[in-house]
Amino acid sequence: MRILVSCIPFDSGKSGISEYARETVRALASQGHELSLLLEPGVDASAFGPAASRTLRAPRWTRRAPLSMLWHLLALPILLWRRRREFDGFFLCAANRRVCAFYPLPTVATVHDLANFHVPGKYSRARMLYLAHVLPFFAKRAHRLLAVSESTKADMVRFWHCPPERIEVLYEGLPRERGALAAPRLPPQAAAGGASERQPETWSGGARAPRAHVLYVSRIEHPGKNHVRLIEAYGRLPRALAEAHPLVLAGADWKDAEVVHAAAAASPHADCIRFAGFVSDEELDALWRGACAYVFPSLFEGFGLSLAEAMARGVPCACSENGSLGEIGRGVAETFDPENADAIARALRKLLEEPEADRAARIARGLERAKAFSWERHAAGVAALLREAGRGRARAPVVPMFGIPVSRVTNAEALSTILGWAREGKARRERGERAGPPKVVATVNVDFVANAVPWRPWRKGGELLDCLRKADMVTADGMPIVALSRLLRDPLPERVAGSDLTPAICRACAAEGLRFHVLGGTPEVLAEAFAKLGISGSPAIAGTDSSRVDLAGDFSETVARANASKPDILFVALGNPKQELWIRRAFDRIDAPVAIGVGGSFNFVSGRVKRAPAWVRRCGLEWAHRIVQEPGRLWRRYAVDLVKFSWLSAWLVGRSVWKGKMVETCSK
């Protein structure tokens, strides 16, 4: 698969999220997927190995976190939409930190933890507002959600109100490049003796590595990582035990790290507490090989990579009993209440004074548990979810909006389908059968929705809404329709406008020997349009009819003239809603394979009404261009349409969110 991977944020390569991005990317690349990496400015792409051969960079001004969040949320989706044909899927490595407003590609989003709901004061008020209210709304728009533990999945159901069936749990893996895993661990008794002479390791700062130390690998962050309580608990150990087993804290300084350093300086065992800082893979490997115990007292974790690594290395563990740490460590690690320093001290002392037989049994259980963690399995699961998301989009032929089945087609697909229907009808006529009744095509824009859907959309609509619901193909003739589909997490591929479709059909008819009849428009406009298309006098023009049509009267003669020309496609250019109502009321009498309401498309083709520039159309602002052209006629109609469509869209999006919440409630 061709996968675009967002590795934003990368935290300078010094966090669990950066480790996750590196390892998942390497595993996906090793399985043969073609990857493109989206990176922050300044990130060294070589950290991802050969997979980083193709990279995209966020702008320089996104170095600050708030600007990065804003760019990722609003600008990145537009970039993805423009380049959507280059990729088969989009993978978000950290959807609990960065999301998109909409997802033009099949998207899998990984959520590591919802610690902000569990740890008061972990982030500032502004960031908490973003994480608790803005981010969940858009994260849930992704096609598939991935949680790294059952604990994280439970939090997503509880706090984000996600339907459980939309969340897949895939455990993370183990590092593949840091020394040999499951190296023999020195028992405490040996470590207290001459172990340092047998294993002369060095660690950060060039000092000799402490022997048989207690290790904790995490960024130095307060209060979330709970270093202060760990230091307090370590201070309650007997002095001889602390001297035999120094406490090593490996990790870069982060938020409020000075509080942790102050607590260590005030500890009765301050001389036994070492801060290693951020360490390289080689230095960390040395620390692992010198450890006799690993402690993980974090207040909350989404997974806990270092706990899984400790098990795989044969290091006995003690960890918090809550969240994913309790889930992963259950039955293997000595668990404790992370908010109780006495409980942490008891767990540490038990681990350090454990009889050798019990210690060996604990190590064996850890090695067995570590077999559940594999980056290869994780990456294969991500790829499977992306394929499933892609298939899910392909299976759904329409996007329902206000009960209108908007077809999920591109311009090329719509043209191909219409011409196919025309050929089938022509073949029936050549066999002496009736070519009609027609397949009905409608090109819906904001004005259509405003005319068809009542202000209270839960009420039954009128005849126009019924026409649209029964049409064989309804295309999105307006970027607001496409944008709304993306907000509903069911995106349409592109805008399929009648003003683009009509000339393409006319040219195709002339090239393939098909015939069309036009009802509506003035003779002058139609003549100019045919001249612009280069088909004046072509046999493809079966006939035109510019006579006045009265829906309240009898239009049998109009239908008879259209049928007499024996068209393969009938263009009805009477404007909305008149053209759709005419097709519906004359439906059983029309003897043509296809009937399309095209409004003023021939006015655009003729050049009498200038279309907006291409960039204006891509931005969804063609309506503003039309108001500038005809302000007296259009400003009031467009104003009412915009207000009504905005209200109806807000109602539909709110209903979608509420429906998701109701599904979650009913599943409990």
> Which domains occur in the chain, in start order?
2-169 (3.40.50.2000), 188-372 (3.40.50.2000), 396-650 (no CATH)
pLDDT more than 70, % of the chain: 85
Distance CA 505, CA 432 (A): 25
Enter the pTM of the model: 0.56
Cβ(339)–Cβ(300) under 8 Å? Answer: no
Distance CA 97, CA 130 (A): 9
- Mean pLDDT within 170-199: 51
> Contacts by 553-558 with C-beta closer than 8 Å and gap 24+?
555/582, 555/586, 556/589, 558/519, 558/586
Instruction: Look at residue 314 in the predicted model and tell me its pLDDT.
Output: 92
Distance CA 641, CA 342 (A): 66
Instruction: Look at residue 633 in the predicted model and tell me its pLDDT.
Output: 60
Instruction: Look at residue 643 in the predicted model and tell me its pLDDT.
Output: 79
Strand 89-92 relative to strand 107-111: parallel, antiparallel, unpaired? parallel
- Kindly tell me if the per-residue pLDDT of 69 is higher than 90: yes
How far from each other are the two terminal CA atoms of the chain, in whole angstroms? 36
Nearest of 114, 215, 216, 222 to residue 160 by alpha carbon: 114
Which segments within 207-298 are labelled E, that is strand? 213-217, 247-250, 273-277, 291-296
* Higher-scoring residue by pLDDT: 96, 209: 96
* Higher-scoring residue by pLDDT: 663, 507: 507
Instruction: Look at residue 503 in the predicted model and tell me its pLDDT.
Output: 92
- Kindly tell me if the per-residue pLDDT of 181 is higher than 80: no
Residue 109 backbone phi and psi in degrees, to 5: -120, 125
Nearest of 69, 57, 116, 125 to residue 97 by alpha carbon: 69
The tokens for 72 are: 């990722």
Least confident interval from 57-61, 198-202, 582-586:
198-202
- Kindly tell me if the per-residue pLDDT of 440 is higher than 90: yes
**Could you say which DSSP state residue 526 is in?**
H
Q: How confident is the model at residue 351 (pLDDT cuts 50, 70, 90)?
A: very high
The tokens for 571 are: 């263009």
* Cβ-based neighbours of 421, under 8 Å, separated by 6 or more: 439, 472, 593, 594
Nearest of 475, 551, 495 to residue 519 by alpha carbon: 551
* Cβ-based neighbours of 201, under 8 Å, separated by 6 or more: 208, 209, 286, 287, 289, 290
